[in-house]
């Protein structure tokens, strides 16, 4: 199949349409606006609906309604807009509705800036909205992987009745790479017999989409049911890439765009005879803690590299569990981690300087 | 024996949780009767708000989605865009629609979403315990306005129907009351029009229903009906505010 040169934001749209997504509700924000623009052009051609909402708050609630009505639906935004969507995301998680949410992260806090960042890690993986819920967070490091994860992401959402977030950054959204839209592995998807179509089910019963459980006994039961689902997701869906991590003296860790810079740093270190490897989480939730448990037996130290000031490092430390020191290097505000600085940091760690 | 009156089949047998004298029960029944009479009960999805009437989904026997506070028109938009042939309606109180959800209702009306909105205005926050609403009348006491609403501090109450009627795409807007049987009949007629408009694809329709809250107004049910008539109707005049030619 031919590969097309596509801009990240547009490739997400193409992959979503290919995956059967026919509804998009969004609101403009840099650096992801090419995605709603693409959807406004392309969705009507396939009988779909693009709607520009009055706000991110409204957009995510339209997603709630459409997902509850049984549609394959998505929204996208960037950091400040995702903050606004958090109310709706909590309701979507509580009501167990499948949908895809794209966050093309920019620098924060507040209005921050419009350059790429990874500073929404906490928000994406540790809640953001209220309550005991989990978002499945997928972190691609190329346009191709982003397309693959978008397509699989819709299926994952349907399989578990859970919202899925694609956590990209301004670089992934804006850069161009060659992509091929490939069908994801086949999953057994349950029928959406819970969806409100207006027509009662085959037993003549009405359906209700709700996250309200006013009796504490019922809410606890609901939350425990969600936890069981989250355990299943952890078991089945945790995904990471290991690059020379098995016999490395130092294991670096990075996700998304940053992992490509780290990858080059590892190559440079190899040339100097330094055994460095990388663990690249592809799912940020569920986080691949096991990979670090194993690596902690052989590696001397760990280095977490982020476009934020120490967010993912907390999960890396949980994985390493105190067995080895975990160091940190990060840039923020839209500034990029520098390959030579990473190399220097590694040398200092292995040389016992820090 | 001849049955002269029965519960509409659109209402479930569940006992309503509303306080004695609350008029939500009447409005629920009117909506239910209209759904049955227009034979749309099996093609309708309601969107429940946050507030006293959240549990409307226990009482009306059709598909339902429960929405976040004020977001019902956005949720209804999502449902209606997916199932354009179904009937989608929201049922919202004044805290929900006139305060936290102003953006959602204004823009649903602006887009001319083909949904029906039942807006129940009782000039106070009911479920949270009698706090001041944007619709609370001047001088009316509330738990967060213990001395009464003061126009210099709180401004004057918002008239949502008149405000929305300035939007060209808001095709049908009518304000009704349920304080006596004659007005209840008029209310039902307006609600029926609002649903018919959706079925015929005319566009956005909203009925504002002036309603009572004896508990938080600290009045008996009968005093409440009188207070509504004497105080609310002068500020919130009844009648049709916008009507499409198609249903004239």
The last residue of one of the domains, among A237, A255, A286, is A237
- Give B-chain residues touching A95 at CB under 8 angstroms: 65-66
Instruction: Establish if B211 belongs to a structural domain.
Output: yes
**A156-195 pLDDT tens trace:** 999 999 999 999 999 999 999 999 999 999 999 999 999 9
Same-domain pairing of A129 and A252: no
Interface residue of B74, B84, B110 to substitute, partner A, most A CBs within 10 Å: B74
Counting the structural domains of chain B, the total is 1
Chain A contact for B63, CB < 8 A?
yes
Same-domain pairing of A130 and A226: yes
Chain B contact for A63, CB < 8 A?
yes
Chain B contact for A69, CB < 8 A?
yes
The last residue of one of the domains, among A186, A218, A237, is A237
Same-domain pairing of A280 and A302: yes
**From CA A285, how far away is CA A135, in angstroms rounded?**
7
Q: Is residue B218 very low, low, confident or very high in pLDDT (cuts 50, 70, 90)?
A: very high
**Residue-by-residue pLDDT tens, chain A, 354 positions:** 689 999 999 999 999 999 999 999 999 999 999 999 999 999 999 999 999 999 999 999 999 999 999 999 999 999 999 999 999 999 999 999 999 999 999 999 999 999 999 999 999 999 899 999 999 999 999 999 999 999 999 999 999 999 999 999 999 999 999 999 999 999 999 999 999 999 988 888 999 999 999 999 999 999 999 999 999 999 999 999 999 989 999 999 999 999 999 999 999 999 999 999 999 999 999 999 999 999 999 999 999 999 999 999 999 999 999 999 999 999 999 999 999 999 999 999 999 998
Chain A contact for B190, CB < 8 A?
no
Instruction: Establish if A59 belongs to a structural domain.
Output: yes
- CB contacts under 8 A, B 98-137 vs A, are 103-104, 106-107, 111
Instruction: Establish if A274 belongs to a structural domain.
Output: yes
Per the CB < 8 A criterion, the answer to whether A262 and A305 are in contact is yes
What CATH number is given to the structural domain containing A340?
Answer: 3.40.50.920
What CATH number is given to the structural domain containing A10?
Answer: 3.40.50.970
Mean pLDDT of the region B148-153: 97
Average model confidence (pLDDT) across chain B: 96
Counting the structural domains of chain A, the total is 2
Same-domain pairing of A175 and A288: no
**B98-123 pLDDT tens trace:** 999 999 999 999 999 999 999 999 99
pLDDT of residue A127: 87
Closest-CA residue of chain A to B106: A54
Contact A65 B47 (CB under 8 A): yes
**B42-95 pLDDT tens trace:** 999 999 999 999 999 999 999 999 999 999 999 999 999 999 999 999 999 999
Contact B64 A208 (CB under 8 A): yes
Instruction: Establish if A85 belongs to a structural domain.
Output: yes
Helix (H, G, I), strand (E, B) or coil at B218: coil
pLDDT of residue A354: 87
Same-domain pairing of A187 and A281: no
- Give B-chain residues touching A194 at CB under 8 angstroms: none
Same-domain pairing of A227 and A288: no
Interface residue of B12, B42, B46, B63 to substitute, partner A, most A CBs within 10 Å: B63
Same-domain pairing of A121 and A65: yes
B188 CA to centre of own chain:
12
Same-domain pairing of A85 and A107: yes
Q: Is residue B246 very low, low, confident or very high in pLDDT (cuts 50, 70, 90)?
A: very low
pLDDT of residue A204: 86
Same-domain pairing of A274 and A334: yes
Same-domain pairing of A228 and A251: no
Chain A contact for B19, CB < 8 A?
no
pTM exceeds 0.95: yes
What CATH number is given to the structural domain containing B113?
Answer: 3.40.50.970
Contact B78 A196 (CB under 8 A): no
CA distances from A238 to A234, A306, B224 (A): 6, 20, 59
Closest-CA residue of chain A to B62: A206
Could you tell me the end-to-end alpha-carbon distance of chain B, in angstroms, rounded to an integer? 40
Chain A contact for B44, CB < 8 A?
yes
Same-domain pairing of A84 and A47: yes
Mean pLDDT of the region B31-49: 97
Strand positions, DSSP E, chain A: 4-7, 23-26, 49-52, 73-77, 99-105, 136-138, 163-169, 176-179, 208-209, 240-243, 250-253, 276-281, 283-285, 301-306, 326-330
Contact A199 B43 (CB under 8 A): yes
Chain B contact for A20, CB < 8 A?
no
- Give B-chain residues touching A92 at CB under 8 angstroms: none
Distance from CA of A72 to the nearest CA of B (A): 10
Q: Which of B43, B66, B81 sits opposite A198 (nearest CB)?
A: B43
Average model confidence (pLDDT) across chain A: 97
Closest-CA residue of chain A to B64: A208
CA distances from B51 to A221, B24, B56 (A): 23, 11, 10
Interface residue of A66, A97, A198, A207 to substitute, partner B, most B CBs within 10 Å: A198
Domain that holds residue B170: 24-247
Closest-CA residue of chain B to A50: B81
pLDDT of residue B248: 44
Instruction: From B127, B116, B125, select the one nearest B94 (Cα to Cα).
Output: B125
Domain that holds residue A268: 240-350
Distance from CA of B17 to the nearest CA of A (A): 13
**From CA A163, how far away is CA A155, in angstroms rounded?**
11
pLDDT of residue B23: 98
Contact A66 B82 (CB under 8 A): yes
- Give A-chain residues touching B83 at CB under 8 angstroms: 69, 197-198
Instruction: From B214, B222, B226, B219, select the one nearest B18 (Cα to Cα).
Output: B214
Same-domain pairing of A77 and A153: yes
What are the DSSP calls for A279-290, one per residue?
EEESEEES--HH
Chain B contact for A61, CB < 8 A?
yes
Helix (H, G, I), strand (E, B) or coil at A51: strand
Q: Which of A66, A210, A212 sits opposite B79 (nearest CB)?
A: A66
Give percent of chain B above pLDDT 90. 97
Closest-CA residue of chain A to B55: A212
């Amino acid at each position: 199949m031919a590969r097309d040169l596509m801009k990240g934001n547009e490739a997400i749209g193409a992959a979503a349409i290919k995956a059967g997504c026919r509804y998009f509700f969004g609101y403009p924000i840099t650096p992801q606006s090419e995605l709603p623009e693409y959807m406004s052009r392309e969705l009507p051609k396939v009988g779909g609906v693009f709607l520009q909402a009055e706000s991110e708050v409204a957009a995510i609630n339209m997603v709630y309604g459409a997902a509850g009505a049984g549609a394959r639906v998505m929204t996208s935004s960037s950091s400040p807009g995702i903050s606004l969507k958090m109310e709706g995301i909590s309701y979507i998680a509580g009501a167990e509705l499948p949908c895809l949410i794209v966050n093309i992260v920019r620098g924060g806090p507040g209005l921050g800036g419009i350059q790429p960042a990874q500073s929404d890690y906490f928000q994406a993986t540790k809640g953001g909205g209220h309550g005991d819920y989990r978002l499945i967070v997928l972190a691609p490091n190329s346009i191709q992987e982003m397309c693959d994860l978008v397509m699989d992401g819709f299926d994952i959402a349907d399989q578990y009745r859970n919202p899925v977030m694609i956590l990209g950054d301004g670089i992934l959204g804006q850069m161009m790479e060659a992509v091929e839209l490939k069908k994801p592995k086949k999953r057994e998807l349950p029928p959406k017999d819970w969806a409100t179509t207006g027509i009662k089910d085959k037993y003549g019963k009405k359906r209700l989409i709700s996250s309200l459980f006013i009796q504490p006994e019922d809410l606890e039961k609901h939350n425990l049911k969600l936890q069981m689902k989250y355990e299943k997701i952890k078991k089945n869906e945790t995904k990471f890439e290991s690059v020379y991590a098995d016999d490395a003296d130092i294991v670096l860790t990075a996700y998304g765009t940053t992992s490509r810079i780290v990858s080059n740093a590892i190559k440079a270190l190899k040339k100097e005879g330094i055994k460095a490897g990388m663990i690249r989480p592809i799912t940020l939730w569920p986080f691949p803690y096991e990979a670090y448990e194993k690596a902690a037996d052989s590696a001397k130290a760990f280095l977490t590299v982020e476009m934020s000031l120490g967010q993912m490092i907390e999960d890396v430390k949980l994985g390493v569990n105190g067995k080895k020191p975990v160091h940190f290097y990060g840039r923020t505000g839209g500034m990029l981690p520098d390959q030579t600085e990473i190399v220097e940091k590694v040398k200092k760690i292995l040389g016992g300087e820090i | 024996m001849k049955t002269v009156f029965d519960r509409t089949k659109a209402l479930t047998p569940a006992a309503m949780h509303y306080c004695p004298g609350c008029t939500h029960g009447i409005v629920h029944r009117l909506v239910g009767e209209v759904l049955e009479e227009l034979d749309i009960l099996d093609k309708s999805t309601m969107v429940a708000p946050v507030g006293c009437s959240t549990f409307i989904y226990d009482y009306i026997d059709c598909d339902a989605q429960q929405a976040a506070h004020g977001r019902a028109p956005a949720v209804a938009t999502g449902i209606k865009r997916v199932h354009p042939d179904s009937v989608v309606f929201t049922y919202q109180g004044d805290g929900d629609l006139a305060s936290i959800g102003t953006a959602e209702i204004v823009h649903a009306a602006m887009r001319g979403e083909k949904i029906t909105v039942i807006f129940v205005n009782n000039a106070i926050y009911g479920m949270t315990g009698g706090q001041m609403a944007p619709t609370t009348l001047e001088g009316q006491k509330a738990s967060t306005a213990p001395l009464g609403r003061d126009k210099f501090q709180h401004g004057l109450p918002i008239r949502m129907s008149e405000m929305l009627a300035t939007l060209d795409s808001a095709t049908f807007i009518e304000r009704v009351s349920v304080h006596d049987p004659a007005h209840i009949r008029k209310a039902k007629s307006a609600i029926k029009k609002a649903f018919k408009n959706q079925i015929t694809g005319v566009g956005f329709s909203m009925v504002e229903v002036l309603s009572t809250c004896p508990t938080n107004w600290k009045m008996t049910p009968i005093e409440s009906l009188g207070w509504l008539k004497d105080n609310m109707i002068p500020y919130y005049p009844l009648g049709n505010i916008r009507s499409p030619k198609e249903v004239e």
